[in-house]
Amino acid sequence: MAAPVEKTEKQKMLDNEYYLPSCPELSADRARAWNLLDQFNTITPANGAERDVVGHQLFGSWTDGNFINSNFKCDYGYNIFLGKGFEMNYNCVFLDCGKITIGEKVFIGPNVQIYAVNHPLDPVKRATCLEIGQDVTIGNNVWIGGGAIICPGVTIGAGAVIGAGSVVTKDIPALTLAVGNPAKVIKTITPSE
């Protein structure tokens, strides 16, 4: 009987298990992403076809015509899946150690941060530099206001609105408005609004 093959740190990350980000493979993946981000962020949005070429190389999924203002930052890019009609304003940061899946026609304001990664609470374990990916999912037709922070493991339902400056620590149902720190649902959205 063959001995079980030990997972690489990258495979552990992709499987949402604790992993060491300092391994050579993940370090090379981050360097690749940074090089692509340098290209992406220097191409003006007016040169959409050029940006689309880099977008297909950087992201796990990209639809031609998606719009991202500079300066965008992420860890890997390949763990970010963007639906059709995606629009994002200036200076956003996505920590994509876990998957970040975003639906169609999602609008994201400036300075929004999405964290799909976490660290151990135990300070002894945290000192080992382990991380764990925790996927973030955002449904179709969501609007996230400027300066919002989306925490690890959160799902935001289709048609929801996250108020500017909110910190989303728990799942938000579809067709609701959530605001505050931590974000709380304050109303249900009706089709006429």
pLDDT at 46: 86
Please list the rounded mean pLDDT of every run of 10 residues in the chain (193 residues): 84 97 97 97 91 97 95 98 97 98 98 97 95 98 98 98 98 98 96 76
27 Cβ partners below 8 Å, 6+ apart?
21
In this prediction the pTM is 0.95
Q: Letter for the amino acid at 100? A: I
Catalytic residues: 119
The kind and range of the H/E element at 50 are helix 48-58
pLDDT at 3: 72
SS3 97: coil
SS3 141: coil
